[in-house]
Chain A
């Protein structure tokens, strides 16, 4: 929501506070918003769609449609809450404007009902935007969730925490908990695994309640007694938790706020759930029952209870598993049709190779790239779903080059592994933080802890700046080699250094046309650099905290960024403000990637979840859980169907985007995975890690599986433990962590990293 009278940040802040208040109101009214963190409960489509399924499960929401389909009533409620808040704070003008925009009747605050249109909310945003207008007109900026803003605000924290205050006798907590523990240990094996999921969230909430109510010693004892029982993958959170021993500490602790503001999601079969419920009711164990009611979301399904292995595969995130409904939306994962490009007949290479080069050229290309150019992929979004920039002549040339290279591409497979070249950054003194290579492998750039970005030419062609304006005037603009003439030969060098950031550069990305470079930094800005003049063109400010990653869209123009403020932002290079804000993660966004068709972005986070966002409407369309540590690497397969993710736990997980399922787990690395890359034809997945190895995996085999309807419907996955079969090779470097991987157009694998003596 953007209120015209406020600066955007201020507005978010207000919305935020309103949301918190609203949450309170909701809680009182027993019509609580069930799934999303309260922070998300602002009136906008994004939150709306994501929330929709929970309010009307199985209602077959058609996603990606740019209208508030379901949950309008809830949306309305949130709006009312915001209005109430504004009125309470005597912001009558804002009340008026918001009311008018939302199309609410004058007395809407008293009466429930009325109608609101989502587009109306985005209205003011669209003003003054000319380019990408169609995109912007549908803008629905998700509210940012700067929980820090909340954290600093004492009353709000108290609101958040107050839910803990009314609890009973602290001495009995241990009794309750061990009672439940005993019960779960004695139930049938098939239920035990499922019910054991309850332990961790219960433990956390009981501990927090004890701390909040100033039973410090009891809390310590409780922690001592039961922390050992928790799953090992919660160790990191437990460490944070145990440092928290006083009520005062709870203020400003983000992990704690995450716990309080988001419901921990558990998936339990109906039978197991009944069992638990019966037990708790029999024992009159209201304490635990209350916590389950208030802080847990139990996603009940019919059928066989899941096994321990199945549960472990999916759990581990900060807030439990994703709800099944969260992954039901349709995702257009297909590729966009390649533009028809006439291969120039007078091309020398072409003629040299064969006389009728054109027909022959095109065929292998089609084979290589699947069915994309022949007919529209049924899973592909429409060509104009989001406006994409026109192809320039140079882009077409590049595409032609790409096709030519593609014909010379090596077909990889288990018997035909790629050669690996390693780019070592020497004398970087542990300061290398990010690396990127252009698609054609002609430039390599490094981001450094000393705030610099350095660009090297990988080919003999030197890097040259464009001449100064005065000199450019002297050039004969009609000459054929004008592009050559505008370059200043005097500036030719192997590398250029870009100065501008005031903090370590954590993410860099080349534009597909090689004219620009993006860098994101600890200083909270993203900078756009020209590779023609080697100067900074724009500094995008919006993240007020470190920006961990940024990436250009494969079609250029758009880029996505994510950082410590937990909000991913979509930008267009010619707008200084973001076009979309994707909020929902409960912790830092550590990496961001664009889908090959530019319609989706994926973000990985320290909350150990991966979210897929629809660029068109800002909705979260997939939530993948299963990693046990912060996610530091993401890669889409070139055909757009699959996603690979790597985390600090050293595991690579493979995801089927269409079905929203985990389809594989690759174990082998012993340290954080910082880079993942599919070969050009998706046959091989390469992973690079902090453990100084590059590993190659058989992607063809890993994705060669039929997803039956049952699995698709229930989301119950059966993973084979076949990492060793899929591992094709493991290649060591000399004490050089692999932080970037890249397949050249001919499928040569390039790896890069800084040498750490």
Chain B
């Protein structure tokens, strides 16, 4: 017995054999059982020995159950099923009974199915190449690419992680800047991504501290901008953290002195940035975001700051989101808002101030909606497209005119659908109600009924408005011919600088994000700030203008149709403005228009075209420019 143990033989005792025989209903004598036991041991050893060759040829060090089963199969013995799992099988013993068994726990399928953690081991097999040793030289460290998900943390990385988080959440603003900058450009932190994402998900626990929230958001921004990180499914987690900052009634907002509005603005911009740069990593993200924003908006119980967040979020996601969600909800929402704004009681002062914020945000959003919509209508005309833009703007209008303005197609599987189709058809299984685009004039008049002059006034800066005599819908068809005449008017070119500036930004914001290495809104912290500030300035202006308008109720009837040209004339007007600004006074006429629009029209390769170009290998759906890194490509100039 002793020598047996020394040789580490498999040993099946006589008693075990007897027990097994009994369970099969056979009585065995001692000698028979003994013989059988010995034979079983021998066969076991034999099978083990022959199974090792399967391991060797599979170029593994670990003998698997699979190997053993193959050995059994080739010696005409039935394979043993049920132990094929990759993980080690825990071998348990029960002390009192001297019983040893392989643990075989029951699995709750429901739990398994609803588990949120993504199981490992489902990624596609891929090949990556890297130059390990140039000219046979190189550091003596092991070289190789390692997928982020499975890499184990080295001490260095752990130290880095601690330093970075300490710096970002610490007191020293300078240190924080350095840390953020490094986070944004470090190529070796893939393994830390889950940890950072976890830290960021801590927003929920620091909702009282605006400063901390702000820092966490900056951390998100740095991670998102790091070109070496593949966010993958972590996008969802990041988005939910950002959404928290946008939508939740943060503890910090109880104190009116806290400027949580800026935080929400920033988070909204961040959200749109994540969405435009990484939205393709998670299918259906766009609809999920819209849905949750809509839910908040339509929930009257929510505080106004949440509503504000929803509005700026929609605004940041682009005018189509505004048109899609905010606009249809406006009538219902307006009543509530109006009630708040109309309550002049002292106890309501704080709420009323919040209400004004919301009001301003909505105003900014719808303003851009109108402008962009008008612009999108103008494009087919500018592009020389012969398509008649009828009074009902059909979906075809969008499709032809503004491919770059629609969000990128989300999953590859949907790529076959029309570009604008998820907006119109509501995407795949979109839960919300049927939605039909509202024609621009109707939209304008409806919005005007809410905002009155404060809306109108935003389309009429400067004295040039006189040029635009109120034109009736009947004049529409004539005015289509006007653009060339209008452009030649040097006055107008100078007239609406503010508006043109807005326009200049918006198409890029809405355009294919992949074209633009630095989405303007977030290209740098500074610019992000400035945009946020600009919007807040506008907001304050709008609220003030509104109060002004309230006092002068008279102008209400005069301005509306006068300021804003009805739908069909919309195109000439807006295109003209842009042309004027861009080209200055030197170029005039139709030509300049086309060239002027070149930038937005040359955002040109619709996102879908890129998805074809993306190398399929490894299925890493990263933005295009990342594929230029040789790291991701299999190609080596040999």
A residues sitting closer than 8 Å to B (CB atoms) are 220, 224, 239-240, 242-246, 248-249, 253, 416-433, 441, 444, 446, 448-449, 454, 456-460, 493-495, 503-504, 506, 522, 545-546, 548, 564, 588, 590, 606, 630, 632, 648, 671-672, 674, 690, 692, 696, 728-729, 731-737, 739, 744-746, 748, 751-752, 754-755, 757
Q: Is the beta-carbon distance between B59 and A427 smaller than 8 angstroms?
A: no
Within 8 Å by CB of A240, from B49, B147, B150, lies B49
Q: Is there an interface contact between A433 and B635, defined as CB atoms closer than 8 Å?
A: no
B62 at the interface (CB under 8 A from A): yes
Q: Quick check: A458 and B62 within 8 Å, CB to CB? A: no
| Other-chain contact of A417, B131, B136, B142 (Cβ < 8 Å) | B136
CA of A611 to CA of B278, assembled, Å: 58
Give the docked Cα–Cα distance between A432 and B58 (Å).
7
Q: What's the minimum C-beta distance from B88 to chain A, rounded to whole angstroms?
A: 13
Residue numbers in B under 8 Å from A224 (CB-CB) = 3
Which residues, 208 to 241 on B, are CB-close (under 8 Å) to A?
none
Residues in B neighbouring A739, C-beta threshold 8 A: 59
Residues on the B chain within 8 Å of A752, using CB: 127
Q: B74 an interface residue at 8 Å Cβ cutoff? A: yes
Contacts A417-B135, A421-B132, A425-B125 given: A460-B142 contact, CB under 8 Å?
Answer: no
Q: Which of B3, B123, B136, B152 contacts A427 (CB 8 A)?
A: B123
B57 is contacted by which of A249, A426, A433 (Cβ under 8 Å)?
A433
Note all chain A residues with C-beta closer than 8 A to B132: 420-422, 731, 733, 751
Q: In angstroms, how far is the closest chain A Cβ from the Cβ of B154?
A: 11
- Which residues of A lie under 8 Å from residue B130 when comparing CB positions? 421-422, 424
Structural contact, A421 and B140, CB atoms closer than 8 A: no
Residues from chain A with a CB closer than 8 A to the CB of B9 are 243
Q: Which of A422, A430, A493, A748 contacts B638 (CB 8 A)?
A: A748
B145 contacts which of A420, A426, A674, A737 (Cβ < 8 Å)?
Answer: A426
Binding site for A on B (CB under 8 A): 3, 7, 9, 38-39, 42, 45-46, 49, 53-54, 56-62, 66, 70, 74, 86, 121, 123-138, 140-147, 150-152, 615-618, 633-636, 638
* Contact (Cβ within 8 A) B636 A495: no
Identify which of B3, B59, B138, B635 contacts A459 (C-beta below 8 A).
Answer: B635
Q: How far is the CB of B105 from chain A (nearest CB, A)?
A: 23
Partner of B150, one of A220, A446, A590, A757: A757
Closest to A733 in B: B144
Q: A245-B42, A419-B136, A504-B54 are in contact. List 10 more A-B contacts (CB 8 A).
A: A417-B136, A427-B147, A441-B638, A546-B57, A564-B74, A648-B56, A672-B59, A734-B144, A737-B59, A757-B146
Are B125 and A430 in contact, CB atoms less than 8 angstroms apart? no
Nearest-neighbor residue (CB-CB) of A422 within chain B: B132
Q: Who on chain B is nearest to A545 by CB? A: B74
Contacts of B59 in A (CB 8 A): 432-433, 672, 674, 690, 737, 739, 754
**B313–chain A nearest beta-carbon distance, Å:** 36
Pairwise interchain contact A419-B134, C-beta atoms closer than 8 A? yes
Are A243 and B45 in contact (CB-based, < 8 A)?
yes
A735 to B86: give the CA distance in the assembly, Å.
18
Q: Given A423-B129, A734-B144, A737-B59, A744–B42 Cβ distance below 8 Å?
A: no
> Using Cβ atoms and an 8 Å threshold, which residues of chain A touch B70?
503, 522
Chain A residues whose C-beta falls within 8 Å of the C-beta of B141 in the assembled complex: 732
Contact with B142, one of A446, A448, A696, A733 (Cβ below 8 angstroms): A733
Residue of A460, A690, A754 touching B61 (CB-CB under 8 A): A690
A736 and B133 alpha carbons, distance in the complex (Å): 15
Give the residues in chain A near B66, CB-CB below 8 Å.
Answer: 449
| Beta-carbon nearest neighbor of A448 in chain B | B125
Chain B residues, Cβ within 8 Å of A248: 39
Please measure, in the bound complex, the distance between the C-alpha atom of A458 and the C-alpha atom of B46, giving whole angstroms: 43
Question: Could you list 19 examples of A-B contacts with CB < 8 Å?
Answer: A239-B49, A243-B46, A418-B136, A422-B145, A424-B129, A426-B127, A427-B126, A446-B125, A457-B634, A460-B635, A493-B616, A522-B70, A564-B53, A690-B59, A696-B136, A728-B136, A734-B146, A737-B59, A754-B59
Q: In the complex, A452→B59 CA distance in Å?
A: 16
**What residues on B are CB-neighbors of A432 within 8 Å?**
59
Cα-based distance from A494 to B140 in the complex (angstroms)? 32
A428 and B125 contact, Cβ closer than 8 Å, known pairs A493-B616, A494-B634, A733-B143: yes
Residue of B nearest to A254 (CB): B50
Q: Which residue of A lies closest to B141 (CB)?
A: A732
Contacts of A244 in B (CB 8 A): 42
B134 engages A426 (CB within 8 Å) = no
User: Are A504 and B136 CB-contacts (below 8 A) given A454-B125, A494-B616, A732-B143?
Assistant: no
What residues of chain A lie closer than 8 Å to B152, measured between beta carbons? 757
Q: How far is the CA of A671 from the CA of B634 in the complex (A)?
A: 29
Residues of B with C-beta under 8 A to A754: 59
Q: How far is the CA of A517 from the CA of B409 in the complex (A)?
A: 38
Contact flag A494-B615 (CB < 8 Å), given A425-B127, A428-B125: yes
Q: Tell me which of B128, B129, B142 contacts A692 (CB under 8 A).
A: B142
Instruction: Return A692 CB to nearest CB of chain B, in Å.
Output: 7
Residues of chain A within 8 A (CB-CB) of B135 are 416-419
Selected from A456, A504, A755, the residue in CB contact (under 8 A) with B146 is: A755
Q: Pick the 4 closest A-B CB pairs, nearest first.
A: A417-B136, A494-B617, A734-B144, A732-B142
Q: Which residues of B contact A240 (CB under 8 A)?
A: 49
Which residues of B are found within 8 Å of A249, using beta-carbon distances? 39, 42
Least CB distance from A349 to B in Å reads: 16
CA distance A427 to B620 in the complex (A): 13
**CB-CB nearest in chain B for A588:** B53
Task: List A contacts of B125 (CB < 8 A).
Answer: 425-428, 431, 446, 448, 454
A754–B128 Cα distance when bound, in Å, is 10
Which residues of the other chain, B, contact A757 by a CB distance below 8 angstroms?
A: 146, 150-152
A617 to B389, CA, bound (A): 84
> Residue on A with the closest CB to B49?
A240
Tell me the nearest residue of chain A to B152, going by C-beta: A757
Is there an interface contact between A506 and B133, defined as CB atoms closer than 8 Å? Answer: no
Partner of A444, one of B57, B127, B147, B615: B127
Contact A424 B635, CB 8 Å, known A494-B615, A590-B57: no
Tell whether A426 pairs with B147 under 8 Å between CB atoms, given A432-B59, A454-B125. Answer: yes
| B145 partner residues in chain A, CB cutoff 8 A | 422, 424, 426, 734, 755
Contact A433 B58 (CB under 8 A): yes
C-alpha gap A542/B54 in the complex (Å): 20
User: Given A494-B615, A522-B70: A504 and B58 within 8 A (CB)?
Assistant: yes
Cα–Cα distance between A224 and B66 once the two chains are bound (Å): 34
Shortest B455–chain A CB gap in Å is 50
Contacts of B633 in A (CB 8 A): 460
Residue of B nearest to A220 (CB): B3
List the A side residues contacting B634 at CB < 8 Å: 456-459, 494
Let me know if B147 and A419 touch, CB within 8 A. no
- B-chain residues with CB within 8 Å of residue A460 when the two chains form the complex: 633, 635
The residue in chain B whose Cβ has the minimal distance to the Cβ of A457 is B634
Q: How far is the CB of A324 from the nearest CB of chain B, in Å?
A: 31
Q: For A420, list chain B residues within 8 Å (CB).
A: 131-133, 136
Q: When the two chains form the complex, which single residue of A220, A504, A736 contacts B144, counting CB atoms closer than 8 Å?
A: A736
Q: Check A419 against B142 for contact (C-beta < 8 Å).
A: no
Interchain CA distance A546-B50 in the complex, whole Å: 12
B60: A residues at CB distance < 8 A: 430
Q: How far is the CB of B194 from chain A (nearest CB, A)?
A: 15
Given the known interface contacts A244-B42, A417-B137, the answer about A548 and B638 at a Cβ–Cβ threshold of 8 Å is no
Residues of A within 8 A of B61 (CB): 671, 690
**B629 CB to nearest A CB, Å:** 14
A729 to chain B, nearest CB (A): 5
Q: Is the CB of B133 within 8 A of A731?
A: yes
Question: Which residues of the other chain, B, contact A421 by a CB distance below 8 angstroms?
Answer: 129-132, 636
Q: Which residue of A lies closest to B633 (CB)?
A: A460
Assuming the contacts A246-B38, A422-B129, A739-B59, asked whether A731 and B617 have C-beta atoms less than 8 A apart, the reply is no
Rounded to whole angstroms, the CA-CA distance of A632 and B60 in the bound complex is 13
Closest CB-CB distance, A287 to chain B, in whole Å?
26
Nearest-CB residue, chain B, relative to A243? B45
Contact B57 A548 (CB under 8 A): yes
